[in-house]
Amino acid sequence: GQNIDQPTEMTATEGAIVQINCTYQTSGFNGLFWYQQHAGEAPTFLSYNVLDGLEEKGRFSSFLSRSKGYSYLLLKELQMKDSASYLCAAGSGAGSYQLTFGKGTKLSVIP
């Protein structure tokens, strides 16, 4: 079966660092994605991890531990525009690359 868990909501202060955790149980796992979704808009791609370790892209970093079924998204130097939902998604299925999504973490950045 497929199961993705992430916190429902988080609040952080502008300029701070926030870490959004995600645990997954996915058969045929072949990669972990993070998406950002602003209210009323479609999700947009943020990051992808297939090997263990940290991937850094500017203010955003994503970490994966395959043995622990665990990932996190790290957002540094938070800005007000980072207020959004962040979706964790586990990929599975050779060739087809089907994603199973978590319910999303709504991040509110406050002044």
Which residues of this protein are in contact with other proteins, per CB under 8 A? 33, 35, 40-45, 48, 87, 89, 91, 96-99, 101-104
Closest CB to other proteins among residues 70, 101: 101
CB 41 → other proteins: shortest distance, Å?
7
Q: Please name which of 41, 34, 42 lies closest in space to residue 91, comparing C-alpha atoms.
A: 34
CB of 2 to other proteins, least distance (A): 9
Of 3, 36, 43, 2, nearest in space to 20 by CA? 36
Nearer to other proteins, 78 or 91 (CB): 91
Min dist. Cβ of residue 81 to other proteins (A)? 19
The smaller minimum CB distance to other proteins, of residues 15 and 28, is found at: 28
101 forms beta bridges with 89
Contacts of 53 (CB under 8 A, 6+ apart): 63, 64
Give the integer Cα–Cα distance in Å for 52 and 71: 9
